[in-house]
């Protein structure tokens, strides 16, 4: 393990140095900062502000309990990172203070989408000044100040800098599904801490679905008593979550999915159903036919009282009604519903759902709320103050904006699809080639990442949200021009550690789960394998082995991360190696050490599986990794010796790649394209020797990734 650290460190330093030349957005001093999200305007100057035991904070202008709490949290984090004992007494005058916060006003009593989150941070050699129009802006600036902390032999410091910052989009959210798998309040709180650090401002709680009704209703207690397996938030806990979020400048929006995804509603109230009961909580996942009966007045009477109860509990101006994936089958099979549709002139299920949504919109307006829903709710008969949350994509979102509807994007931000941070980072709520007018573009308020709950529980949910969510947060906050993927990954490494300091478990979960798998022995060998596989992307996992709500989430696929760092490092080193054509010396040792390490995993896993049946599925993975590694080592040998392999060798090794790619498994090897590149490059040795790196890259890439 230790032998390969040096070349990897050198590689990362090389990438970091190259990125540093692009990461500072103005003409000031070049500093390799670790800020995330990147501020709107950032300029470094020579000098440093020392952070030592005399550190103190002063507040001028407005100060209140929320700002005081934010300062106390910031000081505690500085203490944790520096080991210094700092005073948390806030001064009223700026004389002698290291950080002076000038806040104009409290801001809005209830966080809203129009909250002013801007701030200016000026760091001088003797003092830093944080100026913000509202407390929320000051909280955002405090997060930047903490991220600027650096250290060297002389001690801890903040570099001299001038920052002007505000978000690009006003709606920057995270949806957490607590229905498919229950997430206790402590999970929600620690993720709110992570959201605050990354300047996110909307927590969307998906509270009802076929698999669970997760909130207490005092007006209709059968809803949570019979639809939750006893796992739900009391109203006091909801108030606690809302208060915790408000302290951090975060809004909380509830979602009650209707008229579909409502099996858990119907367990306690089957009289609302479109088809006869009885109903039970769904344990499987998917789209089900159960739906509320939109033709019965009893449905609206219950929803009126329930939504009124929830509107009083949740102070945010918006309430989410879901509205997605209604199959219409039970509506079609119900003679009374069909007669109602004929009487009202409703030609299909879409028209009937639009009728239902209009009724719900009126109820929400009565209770002082604006409607949010998925794409399916979009209809010309609904008021244009609704917000459409788009899972269909940027085109659908833009079409809604042209029709006068505000919207947020979630397509491309489904965290449960286990795509890389780079994938999410490339998705923008507004396409670069958009033809929207300025007025239409302003209707796109931002976006929300979605953590759907089929494959996550309290133990591994953090690892499915963080640190990838930080890349999405940057896309929502920073200027459109901030797009350097390698620099994003460099900064993400530092941010990931800081998130862990907040109490998130996205890193610590791994050791615990691996030790449980192998009884404490052989963890390193298993980790080597886990680190180089990723769960299948999109909905691929469900197509291999369907699971239910009762399936334990403790297997290889539940532990493997979405964004393999060794695979990224391997790809960078191989690219550097091939760029060194025709010598192929650069990074050769690093590539060889990684391949050797992976090749040796198979016998270790085979031995571990004798004692731990739960990892027997890893034997096939380890064997495949060993084959891939041997093929890569052979390719590296041909490149190093400058000898072209026989034609049959290339065909044989590429066949291994195809075999591994087609192996039925819930995980995949992200190193496959890079190993294929090595094999093809070895096979093209004579041509490589005559090409410049720019030319060979296009040539080899085309051969390694043939169009199907």
Residues with catalytic annotation? 325
- Measured distance CA(329)–CA(664) in Å, rounded: 33
3-state DSSP assignment of residue 550: coil
Quickly count helices (H) and strands (E) in the chain.
Answer: 29, 18
- Quick check: 317 and 112 in contact, CB under 8 A? yes
Neighbouring C-alpha atoms within 13 Å toward the C-beta of 519: 7
With residues binned 3-state (H G I as helix, E B as strand, rest as coil), the percentages for the chain, rounded to 5, are: 50, 15, 35
Where are the extended beta strands (E) located within 318-468?
Answer: 318-322, 370-374, 387-390, 406-409, 444-451
Dihedral pair phi/psi, residue 50, rounded to 5°: -70, 140
- Quick check: 576 and 589 in contact, CB under 8 A? no
As a three-state string, the secondary structure of 192-256 is: HHHHHHCCCCEEEEEEEECCEECECCCCCCHHHHHHCCCCCECHHHHHHHHHHHHHCCCEEEEEE
The three-point CA angle 349-355-359 to 5° equals: 145
Q: What is the dihedral of CA 340, 344, 345, 349, to 10 degrees?
A: -50
Helices 65-82 and 485-501, packing angle to 10 deg: 100
- Measured distance CA(70)–CA(90) in Å, rounded: 11
Dihedral pair phi/psi, residue 292, rounded to 5°: -65, 150
- Measured distance CA(56)–CA(93) in Å, rounded: 11
- Measured distance CA(637)–CA(86) in Å, rounded: 57
End-to-end CA distance of the chain: 39
Radius of gyration of the chain (CA): 28
The three-point CA angle 21-27-28 to 5° equals: 90
Neighbouring C-alpha atoms within 13 Å toward the C-beta of 534: 23
- Quick check: 292 and 230 in contact, CB under 8 A? no
On the 0-12 / 13-18 / 19+ scale of CB atoms within 10 A, 29 is middle
Tell me the Ramachandran region of residue 406: left when phi exceeds 0, alpha when psi lies from -120 to 50, beta otherwise: beta
Instruction: List CB contacts of 205: < 8 A, sequence separation 6 or more.
Output: 175, 176, 178, 188, 241, 252, 253, 254, 255
- Quick check: 358 and 382 in contact, CB under 8 A? yes
Query: What are the beta bridge partners of residue 128?
Result: 99, 123
Q: What is the DSSP letter of 3?
A: G
- Measured distance CA(537)–CA(541) in Å, rounded: 7
């Amino acid at each position: 393990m230790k032998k390969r650290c040096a070349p990897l460190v050198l590689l990362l330093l090389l990438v970091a140095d190259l990125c540093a030349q692009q990461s500072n957005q103005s003409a000031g001093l070049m500093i390799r900062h670790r800020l995330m999200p990147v501020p709107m305007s950032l300029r470094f100057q020579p000098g440093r502000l020392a952070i030592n035991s005399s550190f103190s904070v002063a507040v001028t202008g407005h100060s209140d309990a929320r700002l005081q709490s934010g300062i106390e949290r910031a000081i505690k984090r500085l203490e944790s990172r520096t080991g210094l004992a700092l005073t948390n007494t806030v001064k009223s005058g700026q004389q002698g203070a290291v950080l002076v916060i000038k806040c104009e006003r409290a801001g809005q009593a209830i966080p809203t989408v129009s909250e002013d989150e801007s701030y200016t941070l000026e760091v001088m050699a003797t003092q830093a000044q944080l100026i913000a129009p509202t407390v929320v802006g000051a909280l955002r600036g405090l997060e930047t100040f903490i991220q600027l902390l650096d250290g060297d032999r002389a001690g801890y410091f903040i570099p001299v800098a001038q920052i002007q910052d505000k978000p690009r989009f006003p709606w920057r959210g995270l949806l957490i599904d607590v229905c498919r798998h229950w997430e206790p309040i402590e999970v929600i709180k620690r993720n709110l801490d992570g959201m605050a650090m990354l300047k996110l401002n909307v927590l969307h709680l998906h509270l009802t679905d076929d698999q669970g009704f997760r909130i207490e209703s005092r007006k209709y207690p059968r809803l949570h008593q019979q639809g939750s397996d006893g796992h739900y938030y009391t109203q006091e806990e909801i108030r606690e979550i809302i208060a915790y979020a408000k302290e951090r400048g975060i809004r909380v929006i509830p979602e009650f999915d209707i008229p579909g995804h409502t099996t858990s509603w119907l367990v306690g109230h089957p009289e609302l159903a479109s088809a006869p009961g009885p109903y039970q909580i769904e344990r499987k996942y998917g789209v089900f036919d159960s739906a509320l009966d939109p033709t019965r007045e009893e449905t609206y009477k219950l929803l009126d009282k329930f939504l009124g109860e929830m509107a009083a509990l949740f102070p945010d101006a918006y309430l989410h009604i879901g509205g997605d994936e209604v199959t219409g089958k039970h509506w079609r099979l119900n003679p009374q519903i069909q007669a109602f549709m004929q009487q009202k002139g409703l030609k299909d299920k879409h028209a009937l759902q639009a009728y239902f949504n209009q009724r719900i919109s009126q109820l929400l307006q009565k209770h002082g709320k604006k409607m949010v829903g998925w794409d399916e709710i979009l209809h010309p008969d609904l008021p244009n103050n609704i917000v459409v949350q788009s899972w269909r994509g940027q085109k659908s979102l833009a079409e809604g904006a042209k029709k006068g509807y505000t919207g947020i994007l979630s397509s491309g931000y489904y965290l449960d699809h286990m795509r890389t941070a780079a994938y999410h980072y490339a998705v923008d709520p507004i396409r670069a080639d958009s033809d929207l007018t300025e007025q239409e573009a302003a209707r796109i308020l931002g976006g929300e990442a979605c953590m759907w709950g089929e494959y996550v529980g309290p133990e591994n949910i953090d690892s499915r949200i963080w640190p990838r969510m930080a890349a999405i947060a940057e896309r929502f906050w920073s200027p459109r021009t901030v797009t350097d993927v390698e620099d994003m990954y460099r900064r993400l490494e530092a941010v990931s550690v800081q998130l862990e300091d907040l109490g998130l478990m996205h890193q610590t979960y791994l050791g615990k789960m691996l030790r449980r798998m192998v009884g404490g022995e052989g963890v390193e060998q298993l980790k080597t394998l886990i680190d180089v596989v990723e769960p299948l992307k999109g909905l691929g996992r469900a197509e291999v082995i369907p699971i239910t709500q009762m399936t334990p989430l403790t297997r290889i696929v539940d532990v493997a991360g979405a964004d393999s760092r060794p695979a990224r490092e391997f790809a960078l080193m191989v690219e550097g190696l091939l760029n060194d054509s025709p010598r192929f010396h650069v990074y050769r040792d690093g590539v060889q050490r990684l391949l050797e390490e992976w090749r040796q995993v198979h016998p270790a896993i085979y031995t571990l599986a004798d004692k731990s049946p739960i990892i027997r599925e890893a034997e096939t993975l380890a064997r495949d990794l060993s084959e891939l590694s041997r093929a890569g080592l052979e390719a590296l040998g041909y490149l190093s010796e400058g000898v072209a392999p026989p034609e049959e060798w290339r065909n044989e090794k590429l066949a291994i790649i195809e075999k591994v790619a087609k192996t039925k498994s819930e995980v995949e090897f992200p190193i496959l394209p890079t190993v294929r590149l090595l094999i093809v490059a070895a096979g093209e040795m004579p041509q490589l020797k005559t090409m410049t790196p720019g030319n060979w890259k296009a040539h080899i890439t085309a051969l390694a990734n043939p169009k199907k």
